[in-house]
Amino acid sequence: MKTIFTYTGIRVKDLEKSVEFYTQVLGMKETGRGEIKAANGQVVSLVSKDGGPELELNFYGTGSKFATNYDVGEGIDHLAFKVDDLDKALDEARKLGYPTALEMKGETSRWAYIQDPNGIFIELFA
């Protein structure tokens, strides 16, 4: 089977706070919003660049069979975002209330993690 990866959908606890994080902290652009009537939910689509991979934020309201107890990440390990300047990105995130959760350095690379409003780890690397 040949497939083409098109997007990642994650369930969020607070849709607007999550949109704010991904647009203001990570600089993503909102490309659409919709209602998922069959699931009593809402969806927001985001991209980092036109034509790039899409991140879909899914929120399920009270009474939805999908509005189960929230376990951080539900199997998602982390989402990775490339940045031009890691120190600047971490400083901007910190100023917006998202401190560095973990910073790592290899022989030829350096990366760090912050957490989104849902507790999902976000890897930043240059």
pLDDT at 69: 77
Q: Are the beta carbons of 114 and 98 closer than 8 angstroms?
A: yes
Digit-coded pLDDT (tens) for 61-99: 888 877 777 776 665 767 889 898 999 999 999 999 999
- Sorted by where each begins, the domain ranges of the chain are 7-125
Cα 96 to Cα 98: distance, rounded to the nearest angstrom: 6
pLDDT at 17: 97
- Nearest alpha carbon to residue 53 among 61, 45, 62: 45
pTM reported for the whole predicted model: 0.76
Q: Would you say the C-alpha torsion 70, 71, 76, 78 has a positive or negative sign?
A: positive
Buried b (16+ CB within 10 A) or exposed e, 82-120: ebeebeebbebbeeeebeeeeeeeeeeeebbbbbbbbeb
Tell which CATH architecture fits domain 7-125. Roll (3.10)
